[in-house]
Amino acid sequence: MKKYITRRFLQLIPILFGITFLSFLLMNTGTADSIDVMENNTGGVMSEEEKDILRAELGLDKPLVQQYIIWLGKTVRGDMGESFVSGQPVSALFVSKLPATIGLMITSILLTVFLSVPLGILSAVRQNRITDYLIRFFSFIGNSLPNFFVSLLLIWFFSLKLKLLPVMGNNAGWKSVILPTLTLALSMASRYTRQVRATVLEELNKDYVQGARARGISEKRILYFSVLRASMLTIATLLALSIGSLLGGTAIVESIFMWDGVGKMAVDAITMRDYPVIQVYVIWMAVIYVCVNLFTDMIYHYLDPRIRLGREDG
Amino acid sequence: MREKQKMTVGKQRAAGDYIKIKMILFGTLAAGVILTAVFAPYLVPYDPYEQDLGNALLPPGGAHLLGTDRYGRDMLSRVIMGSRTTVFAALLLVAVITVIGSAAGILCGYYGGKLDAFLMRVSDIFLAFPGMVFAIAVASVMSGGILNAVIALACISWPKYARVARSQVLSIRNMPYMAAAKLSGSGTFKMICRHVVPNIAGPVIVTAVLDIGTMMMEIAGLSFLGLGAAPPTAEWGSMMSNGRSMLQTSPWVILAPGTAIFLTVVIFNLVGDTVRDLLDPRQKGR
Amino acid sequence: MAPLLDVQHVDVSYNGRAVVHDVSFQLEAGEILGIVGESGSGKSTVIRAAMGLLGNTGAVTRGDIYYKGQSVTAAGAEELRRMRGPAMGMIFQNTEASLCPIRSIGDQLFESVCQHEKASREEVRDRALELFDRMRLNDGERILNSYPFELSGGMNQRVGIMMAMVLRPALLFADEPTSALDVTVQAQVVREMMKMRDIYGTGIVVVTHNIGMAEYMADRIAVMYEGRLVEYGRTEDLIHHPKEAYTKRLIGSVLRIDRG
């Protein structure tokens, strides 16, 4: 088991390099480089020679790989550059906005699990009966609605028509978190319910279920004590994968609801071509995602006795 | 109890025909959407780009079935025209990642070794980025435009196909007929075409068709953020973004394109589900 | 007195397709019946029908099955569930697959017993150890604390026997109990099953494709082919004086080492 953990951590390193290099590459091979953007934003006009001097100053004329290494060195020390727009150091900016996003993510995940797991199990157990069809129908609909449409619909209905909830911002306390959470949760839950259903169905079709029936064990017991325990591992792993789309979804939802998190920060940065901000967002979201996956993987391997006790399974 | 079981048994026999009916029905609907996109310029009642500020923000009804937007442009025409961008871009995107991803996957599965390890590492790195995050990054760097949005989405989506293709190839690599073909002296490329591709086509096609709806939503999402189609192009996502401020006063400006996205995605998702049931009935669960 | 198991002119269908036609046989208490046939002959289907384990897709479409005179085909789901375990037990071809992979054997054993009677963990453990003892297994404790994947095939099959017998059913079904085992282990498992009959008087229905094994174990043999009963009779009669061509072929296909 220890060997497994060390192996996974070691695998993390090339991926981290890959992430940072790819992001660096992206941000620095755009058609406009930072000098041009600075020029745009400050409204001034500079001649090519002046720009070249600036570039040499900032080390932008060195070969790409060398730039990357210099940049990586600075990053590791916490210096990820400054915003083109505000001049603020971007890592500090990111850290200040992160809690809002994490809060939103936590509420969304909780609501999703609360909805999807019971509904998915119910759908699997009552396979092909009315309950199953209803649940599948609603998750199908939810799956076909883009999250920006859902947010607008929710705003229209709850904020504008019914005047129940605030339209935007995160300063109305718990009330303002409802609509964004609902939006994210509905999208996530639609997909996740189907996955829970498929997992439970797969377990239900396994031989040990028939074995248990042959021993006269009640369907309820089989479900709660054997099938669900076996399904939980897969369900937890699938949740980690869903977090990936959640991380992406926050960008749009935060932007619509003016929720002051890193997603909104990134979307705002896009319109301003504020590359350092976009870069820190992309890198950190990727790192968070990779860590979440790693963590889930390790928990999975710990909880499954087949793997914990030494036999590599699948 | 015996009677009830007989009934269930009879119902199941009809399931096979049921799938065929569904396929024809949904396939026709999907074809309808695609044809609308193809013939859009001929189907629009008004010029989608013609502004008529005097008639701005008219509610649905009368001369304008879906109302007009803030520039007086006919919503119905813009929605019909908008189908081109969404539908074509999504289909193009899915086609590209299917071909590239499968090719990569086949190479990995077939040759194994260093190539496999390398490509899988590369795909791991792309997979490390949460979907939209990467698409946002790439699309913003490439300064917008629908083609760049497609490229961005392609970069993060190909690994999924590579994995599907690769695992399929791995599972058939040791099958007797592969060894037989090799012994009979088949060239590598011929062998791949004749033996590998048909046998892995099933899951790959299922993944692709199921992805069309998702890709449409992602393209619309990027456009919504301003990273896809640029104005005045009629595109459902950007139309919705432009209409945000008028949500309370003129909701049809948002509802029309939104419903269009929804219905189109529903149709393609239905097609996708049916294709999956057709090609892999085991997956549906008994 | 009604026979322990009475199968009368039974048809079984899956998804509308009949896989078993007009099968009849009886089993008395303490008897061993061997149902012999190749894959697809319907032999496993018959015993699943007898236990009510056909699932949503299968049904007995004609005839009846009686356990001690009580109809199994007409019984309700809950009634059947109560019979499975204390009245009828099953040993599967792959016991490991018939057990939940992430729970210990002892855990699942305790669950099986407690569904049908009140017993403490110690009582259940003692009963299991006693059964292991009869099978000449010494480290019963270790087995109970293990997960199914940690045990060998032969060990798993013995666990299957133990778990089926712990509730002392009068009737035991064994679905190809030794097919997945090495030859040397097969003999041991077969002998253990016969011992159960000797000690506890259990009636056993063994499904197998190996007519040699049926000859060794069974008092009566039923030969099945493509869902139909080809021949049925006492072992000595059937083996030495087979009437049907298929039976003769089955017997002839058993490799015997001729010494001298």
| 8 Å CB contact of C59 and B2 | yes
**B129 → closest Cβ in A198, A271, A286:** A286
A79 or B186, greater pLDDT: A79
Residues in chain A: 314
**Regarding predicted confidence, which is higher, A30 or A253?**
A253
Coil/strand/helix, residue C138: coil
Cα B8 from chain centroid (whole Å): 36
**Residues C92, A207: C-beta atoms closer than 8 Å:** yes
Contact (CB<8Å) A282/B129:
yes
The SS3 assignment for A260 reads coil
Flag if A217 and C115 touch (Cβ within 8 Å): yes
More confident residue, A296 or A308: A296
Report the side by side order of strands in the sheet with C171-175.
Answer: C70-71, C58-67, C5-14, C17-27, C228-234, C220-225, C32-36, C203-208, C171-175, C88-91
Query: What are the tokens at C230?
Result: 């080809």
pLDDT at A89: 81
CA distance B181 to B175: 10
Specify whether the CB–CB gap between C43 and C224 falls below 8 A: yes
Hey, what are B101's tokens?
A: 């991803």
Predicted local confidence at residue B260, as pLDDT: 92
Is residue A267 scored above 70 in pLDDT?
yes
Q: For chain A, what is the radius of gyration of the CA atoms?
A: 24
Chains that touch C (3 or more CB pairs under 8 A): A, B
Neighbours of chain B (3+ CB pairs under 8 A): A, C
Say if residues A19 and B128 touch (Cβ distance below 8 Å): yes
Measure the N-to-C terminal CA separation of chain A; round to a whole number of Å: 16
User: CA–CA separation, A313 vs B13, rounded Å?
Assistant: 37
Question: How many beta carbons lie within 10 A of that of residue A174, not counting itself?
Answer: 7
Closest chain C C-alpha to A226 CA, distance in angstroms: 6
C-alpha to C-alpha distances, B116 to B107, B113, B119, B172, C116, nearest whole angstrom? 7, 5, 5, 16, 54
Reduced DSSP (H G I as helix, E B as strand, rest coil) percent helix, strand, coil of chain A, to 5: 80, 0, 20
Q: Quick check: helix, strand or coil at residue C87?
A: coil
Rounded Cα distance, B47 and B172, in Å:
54
pLDDT of the residue at C58 = 87
Q: Is A217 in contact with C112 (Cβ distance < 8 A)?
A: yes
Minimal CA separation from A137 to chain C, in Å: 23
Asked if the C-beta of B72 comes within 8 angstroms of chain A's C-beta atoms, the answer is no
State the smallest CA–CA distance between residue A47 and chain B in angstroms.
23
CB-CB: which of C13, C57, C74 is closest to B1?
C74
Nearest-Cα residue of chain C relative to residue B12: C15
* C-interface mutation test, from A215, A303, A309, most C Cβ less than 10 A away: A215
Shortest CB distance from B9 goes to which of C59, C73, C76? C59
pLDDT tens digit sequence for C76-119 = 889 999 999 899 999 999 999 999 988 899 999 999 999 898 88
- Token pair recorded at residue B54: 């005097």
Q: What is the pLDDT of residues A23-71, one digit of tens each?
A: 777 777 654 566 666 666 566 666 777 767 766 666 666 677 777 777 7
For chain B, helix, strand, coil in percent to 5 are 80, 0, 20
| CB-based contact C87:C169 (threshold 8 Å) | yes
Go through B75-106 and write b for each residue having 16 or more CB atoms within 10 A of its CB, e for each that does not.
bbbbbbbbbbbbbbbbbbbbebbbeebbebbb
**Residues 6 or more apart whose Cβ sits within 8 Å of residue A246:** A105, A108, A109, A184, A188, B130
Give the Å distances, CA to CA, from A11 to A19, A22, A212, B3, C104: 13, 17, 40, 59, 33
How many whole angstroms separate alpha carbon A19 and alpha carbon A131?
A: 44
Total-model pTM: 0.81
- The CA distance from B77 to B85, in Å, is 14
- Distance from CA of residue C107 to its chain's centroid? 23
CA C207 – CA C210 distance, rounded (Å): 9
Query: To which residue do tokens 């303002």 refer?
Result: A176
- The confidence score (pLDDT) of residue C46 equals 92
Give CA angle at B190 (B185, B196), nearest 5°: 105
Per CB-CB distance under 8 Å, the chain A contacts of C164 are: 215
Amino acid identity of C236?
E
Instruction: Identify all chain C residues contacting A210, using CB atoms and an 8 Å cutoff.
Output: 53, 55, 98
* Interatomic CA distance for residues B91 and B209, integer angstroms: 9
B216 CB-contact burial (10 Å; exposed 0-12 / middle 13-18 / buried 19+): buried
Q: How far apart are CA C167 and CA A129, in angstroms?
A: 35
Torsion angle, alpha carbons of A123, A127, A129, A131, to 10: 0
Chain A and chain B share a number of CB contacts under 8 A equal to 146
What is the rounded CA–CA span in Å between residue B146 and residue B235?
10
- Chain C CB contacts of B9 under 8 Å are 13-16, 57, 59
Q: Report the pLDDT averaged over residues C60-68.
A: 91
Say yes or no: B170 contacts chain A, CB-CB below 8 A. no
Mark yes or no for CB contact C51/A214 under 8 Å.
yes
| pLDDT for the residue A59 | 62
* C32 band by pLDDT with thresholds 50, 70 and 90: very high
CB-CB neighbors (< 8 A) of C207 in chain A: none
Tokens of B261: 């996205």
pLDDT tens for chain B, 286 residues: list them. Answer: 444 444 444 445 556 677 888 888 898 999 988 888 888 888 888 887 877 777 778 888 777 788 888 888 888 888 888 888 889 999 999 999 999 998 888 888 877 788 888 888 888 888 878 878 888 777 777 766 788 888 888 888 888 888 888 888 888 777 777 777 777 766 666 766 777 777 788 888 888 998 899 899 988 988 888 887 777 788 898 888 888 888 878 888 888 899 999 999 999 999 998 888 887 655 443 3
Cβ–Cβ gap B9/C13 under 8 Å: yes
B185: tokens are 């002296």
Q: Which residues in chain A have Cβ-Cβ distances shorter than 8 Å to B286?
A: 127, 205
**Minimal Cβ distance to B266: which of A144, A155, A290:** A144
Of the pLDDT bands very low, low, confident and very high (cuts 50, 70, 90), residue A213 is: very high
pLDDT of residue C56: 79
Q: Is the ipTM of this complex over 0.90?
A: no
